[in-house]
A and B are shown apart, each in its own frame.
Chain A
Amino acid sequence: SQTIHQWPATLVQPVGSPLSLECTVEGTSNPNLYWYRQAAGRGLQLLFYSVGIGQISSEVPQNLSASRPQDRQFILSSKKLLLSDSGFYLCAWSALITAQYFGPGTRLLVL
């Protein structure tokens, strides 16, 4: 069966510090991968998606970037965090236009 891992679960970072969040998927090949951000009590904002290694599409211009160095690895990064980057970051995978399966998420607080 397929599983999706995200780490860390929680993160507190100072403004201006770098960020690296990692997501890995097991049990499937060539998945579509997604990064979402969710503000407290709000909806899901799609940040990036990838249909293959090295292929990244950005949905929202921002302080973040994404990379897919391996088929089942998706990384979200920032060189300098802003206060507005705080939120709940969710990684998800899907096969074509089927359901998306979310990881447990990372709660990021930028102080």
Chain B
Amino acid sequence: GQQVMQIPQYQHVQEGEDFTTYCNSSTTLSNIQWYKQRPGGHPVFLIQLVKSGEVKKQKRLTFQFGEAKKNSSLHITATQTTDVGTYFCAGWGADGLTFGKGTHLIIQP
């Protein structure tokens, strides 16, 4: 079945450093979605990418969808303490929506 791998599992950064998480699917995706889960909270939808090679920005966050529509990345510039949490990618494919296991972002002040 469809698999979505996400790396790294954990990322420690100093406040102000950049952060990137990567998502790779075993199959071609119709779209890819990104979610953020704050500690103790529930996942919150951030963005959806649909087109091959698409790049979208939300303030300090940059999202990319690969040309082959099988991989994606989320990059945060100059992390802040409010960025702490777990970032999940989720890809829509033939098997429906499959979530990656998430990247835990830990920020040291």
User: Which chain A residues have a beta carbon within 8 Å of chain B's beta carbons?
Assistant: 41-44, 46, 49, 90, 94, 97-105
Contact = CB atoms under 8 A, between A and B. Distances in A.
A94 B35 CA distance: 14
A71 B29 CA distance: 29
Contact of A99 (B33, B88, B96, B101): B33
A43 B31 contact: no
Given A41-B104, A43-B88, A43-B99, A99 B42 contact: no
For the complex of A and B, list the 9 residue pairs with the smallest distance between their C-beta atoms, beginning with the closest: A43-B101, A99-B45, A102-B42, A44-B99, A97-B92, A105-B42, A102-B43, A43-B102, A104-B42
B48 interface: yes
Interface of B: 30-31, 33, 35, 41-45, 48, 88, 90, 92, 96-97, 99-102, 104
Best-buried of B42, B92, B96 by chain A (most CB within 10 Å): B42
A103 B42 contact: yes
11 contacts: A43-B88, A43-B99, A43-B100, A94-B97, A97-B31, A99-B45, A100-B33, A100-B45, A100-B90, A101-B45, A102-B43
Contacts, number: 37
Given A41-B104, A42-B101, A43-B88, A97 B42 contact: no
A23 B87 CA distance: 24
Given A42-B101, A97-B92, A102-B43, 11 more contacts: A44-B43, A46-B99, A90-B43, A97-B31, A97-B97, A99-B33, A99-B45, A99-B48, A100-B43, A101-B45, A104-B42
A99 B90 CA distance: 9
B24 to A, nearest CB: 15
B97 A102 contact: no
A94 to B, nearest CB: 8
Contacts of A44: 43, 88, 99
A102 B44 contact: yes
A105 B37 CA distance: 12
A48 B30 CA distance: 22
Contacts of B35: 100
